Structure 1
Amino acid sequence: MDAQHSVDVLVVGAGPTGLTAAGDLARAGRTVAVLERWPTINPASRAFATMARTLEVLDARGLADDLLAHAHQAAGVAIFAGARVDLTHLRSRYKFGMITPQTNVDQALGRYAAAQGADIRRGNEVIALDQDPDGVTVIARPKGDDDPRHRNVWRAAYLIAADGAHSTVRGLLGVDFPGKTILSSVVLADVKLANGPTDGGLTLGSSREVFAFLAPYERHDSDGSWYRAMVWDRNHQVADTVPVGDREVIDVLARAMRTDLGVRDIGWLSRFHCDERQVTRYRHGRVFLAGDAAHVHSPMGGQGMNTGIQDAANLAWKIDAVLGGASDRVLDTYHDERHPIGKRVLLQSGLMARAVALHPRIVRGLRNLLAPGLLRLPPVRDAVSGSFAGTSLRYSRRRGDSRSVGTRATEIPLVEGQLTTVQRTPGFLLIRERATPAIDTADLQQAQRADRGPAVLVRPDGYIAWVGASTDRPGWGKVLDTWTGTSHQSRVTGGD
């Protein structure tokens, strides 16, 4: 073995989940390395929709504006029989879904992680893993290189497995991935259409035998516009390895959308199957499973990449806190908070996939009769859109806590700037009541509310940890110390 390396945290997988975690940990001052088995970013990524909550996470890292400048904004998702998931009423700056290939998000997060100091090593695959009470030891090698002289040994306090649905780390741990396949022979394609949908949203068409989903890209020329298409034919179920022909895509699009969309060109093509799976535990000693390594589900609703990025945003600051002296119990909250969210995403995406692929005529008729009206009712509309966008998802709170604890703080108006801008500097944030003086405490950012609400303590991932009066130092101080293990009793270092 020709090299040995030591870092605070080792991340396996340089997709959006791994790069978010690596960037956040490096930004906090931790040494981080990322091992990715593929030598370059995968150009055939399946994700294309970035939802509002994920855009808030990206904005807190200074990435959202540049991505939006080259992306399409979809105000909703047309599903079946005129039913629509309407995103225009979201309680967020981002009242839409950002439509852009995952490769663009990967590149932005890769630049972020590298700029913060993460060491990204592509073309390196993990072949062995061991952990003990003090850390994790990993053996890696150049992808496909069997020469033992080229192996590297990595030692880290913690390891984040963000290496996808076929996670090597999960396999080395011997962790089961229970679940089942719900759709087979689903095809993804980039298509240029002369007569594509013009409403600016995500469009789904279906019959009893086929469905097709279209997402617009910001790519146009004289003879058409480009879309990401997902198509499925109940009567053409073949193995993932069977090549996809242009005629298959053209045929299913026409049957599902009930019109000739004028296919002018077809680019990238891929066939895959869709599973619903989730590990029982996200934490295994000093190893944490995140993103597709922890959960996979139907692509309906575009939840996969979004859920993984938010896994990473939840986990990274907690590892940083424990490395800084917080209780090891803080790391258990990663599973406690994210596993229920992953379970909900599986249920939500699965229900949508099953609703689209319904076959019995009577059941489809009832679906078509009821869904459009229900989704126009404001309470139903807001619950469904908030769940898909991630803005209404919350973490559980302890008995006696304010109802706001566990909800995102993004919509609290500040006297100066926005929360996502302030949180580009990592750490906890105390948002004081309007027109109150700064609190005398060290190593804690502060801001001031612009409305009449109470003071809140905001976690590094943007969720509320405490609500009360800013003068209640024992109240917010106890919560802060529980999360960080550090007493904050000195003079102020952060102001308005």
Structure 2
Amino acid sequence: MNGTGIGNGTDPHPAPHPGAADPTRSVIVVGSGPTGLLLAGDLAAAGVPVTVVEKRPHKISNLSRAIVIHARTLELLDARSLADEVESLGRRLDRMNLFTRLTVEFDSLPSRFKHLVMLPQYETERILERRAVAAGVRFRHETEVTGIDQDEEGVTVRLRGPDGASQELRAAYLVGADGMRSTVRHAVGLPFPGRSVIRSILLADVRLAEPPEETLSVHARGDAFAFFASYGDGYYRIVAWHRHRDIPESEPLHLPEVQEAVRLAAGHDFGMHDAKWLSRFHSDERQAPAYRVGRVFLAGDAAHVHTPAGGQGMNIGLQDAANLSWKLAAVLQGRAADSLLDTYQAERHPVGTEAMRSSGAIVRLAMAKYPWTLGFRAALTATLNVLTPVRRKLALQITGLGVKYRAAQGAHALTGSRVADVELAGGRLYEALRGGRFVLITSQDCADKTGLEDWLTVERRTGRGSGSRTTVLVRPDGYVAWAADDPDLAAVEAAVEAHVGEQVSLAR
């Protein structure tokens, strides 16, 4: 496999499926972080040939970076048979505390996952990479994108391989999942408007001799704030900031500086010791105006970045990937028109915008400086803490469960909604979604047409709600594509043909 080696030119991965060289039905993914790995794995599992281009050597970083996996992301991992492993490796948390006064609870979430999971990003990447490799994804490490050309038929990517030689790859579509400094975004001429919200943030993974009462909490006082999160193995992730310590990211960070910031924010440093990772970073709020330019798409941090408050960054990137992957597969398999891909921008761009607003609001409250802003923060958090509906809405926002996509005028009220993991005759919904198929949930006596099982699963409800006369067509990403109350079979068949892209005959 040319150019796919790691350092010495050897190939660490199995051979891709036979169609990998066909540029008319393949996809190139740039970036092998969580977003790129999930997307590539989805496409390969659907039979789409995929090449992942990554400029770094093949190595799973031991830097923890993102550490929070929210309920909606756990649902998507469940639909890929990965959630059980993630839960076994991570630590479950059912609430988070903001500024002492405000507690956001997750134990009443309308999901099978009534919690979040603390897990270092490198563990998430390891799981996603293993799945991608097993599905036949082709990897080209130590390979850098130097240019992109596209036409009506596809995309040509110019590359520089590990030996410095120039190469080219051709595919039907390309997805840039290559982070905040995205080469893909720059190559297609998209701006990345926004600004730096906060600089010289301190990051540390440490042990604590006197752990805080809450395993996930935010403290803010005076000119500093500190975020604590327990990994469950004795180590804590600390994110801290001190208003009067604006030091360049290139300067080394030592534990006493973190201890000082935490003491200012929380009153004491909890006996912090044994740091295994120390780093500085800055936090931006930026969003590309478009997630699609012709045959090129952006996902994850390449499309949007925001403050780490609430731990939404990696989660939203993974949800971007889940939204885009099934649409690309449907178009490349001839089951949908290219226009389906425009819905990626329509659905995911507003989600990125809302994440910037919500995470930015938390950080701005933490950075409150003047007496009146400090008083406002205290009053606001105390008030919100007694308003259960508001706290519930905040929990839905942070976890991604509250996302609903805009539906066409006149559509059923459920259209665009996320579907919870309901019990079906053949098992749970998210088990039925594991094949990357649409799922038709109906109370009618329907039988799936022979030969359609690659694209559609037909299931009947059981248990609570089994008497409902509402028929629901669920997309592969777990959102409602179409719904109707007590429809006749002709209407169901028409909906399946319109959304799944295949004719179907459903018989009693």
Q: TM-score range by the shorter chain?
A: over 0.9
Is 1:357 aligned to 2:367, yes or no?
A: yes
Aligned to 1:334: 344
Match for 2:126: what amino acid? Q
1:412 maps to 2:393: no
Superposition misfits of 4+ residues, deviation over 6 angstroms: none
The answer as to 2:262 corresponding to 1:261 is no
Deviation at 1:313, TM superposition (A): 0.3
User: Counterparts of 1:179 and 1:290 in 2: how far apart (Å)?
Assistant: 17
Aligned to 1:196: 211
Shift of 1:447: 1.3
8 Å contact kept, 1:84–1:372: no
Which SS does the other structure have where 1:270 is aligned?
strand
2:41 matched to 1:23? yes
Out of 255-264 and 21-30, give the one that drifted further: 255-264
**Equivalent position of 1:207 in the other structure:** 221
Q: Does 1:96 align with 2:128?
A: no
Do residues 36 (structure 1) and 50 (structure 2) align?
no
Identity, in percent, stands at 41
Equivalent residue number for residue 373 of structure 1? 383
Q: Does 1:107 align with 2:126?
A: yes
Q: Judging changes above 3 Å, is the alpha-carbon distance between structure 1 residues 293 and 491 closer, same or farther for their aligned structure 2 residues? A: farther
Aligned counterpart, 1:478: 494
Separation of aligned partners in 1, 2:77 and 2:438:
17
Counterpart selection for 2:191 from 167, 176, 196:
176
Establish whether residue 459 from structure 1 lines up as the match of residue 475 from structure 2. yes
The residue identity in structure 1 corresponding to 2:432 is V
Q: Which amino acid aligns with 1:417?
A: G
Quote the Cα distance in structure 2 between the aligned partners of 1:491 and 1:293: 46
Q: What are the Cα deviations for residues 26-78 of structure 1, in whole angstroms up to 9, with x where unaligned?
A: 11111011111111223325210000000000111111111111211111111
The secondary structure found in structure 1 opposite 2:424 is: coil
- Which of 288, 303, 314 does residue 294 from structure 1 map onto? 303
Cα deviations across residues 202-261 of structure 1 (Å, max 9, x unaligned)?
Answer: 111111201110110021xxxxx2011101110001221111111111111222121240
- 2:110·2:420 contact (CA, 8 Å) conserved in 1? no
Structure 1 equivalent of residue 176 of structure 2: 161
Letter in 1 for 2:299: A
Q: Map of 1:392-407 to 2, 5 A cutoff?
A: 392-407=402-417
Displacement after TM superposition at 1:440 (Å) = 4.3
Residue of structure 2 equivalent to 1:382: 392
Please state if 1:447 is matched with 2:459.
yes
SS at match of 2:172: strand
Distance 2:81 2:421 in 1: 18
CA distance in structure 1 between the aligned counterparts of 2:70 and 2:499, rounded to whole angstroms: 28
Pairs within 5 Å for 1:35-54: 35-39=53-57, 40-54=59-73
What are structure 1's unaligned runs of at least 5 residues?
A: 220-224
Determine the structure 2 residue equivalent to 1:226: 235
Q: Which has the higher mean CA deviation after the structures are superposed, 435-444 or 80-89?
A: 435-444
Partner secondary structure for residue 174 of structure 1: coil
In the TM superposition, residue 169 of structure 1 has moved relative to its aligned partner by: 0.7
Q: Distance in 1 between matches of 2:507 and 2:426?
A: 22
What secondary structure, in the 3-state scheme, does the structure 1 residue paired with 2:423 have? coil
Q: Secondary structure at the match of 2:191?
A: coil
The TM-score normalised by the length of structure 1 is 0.93
Q: Kindly tell me the number of residue pairs found equivalent between the two proteins.
A: 480
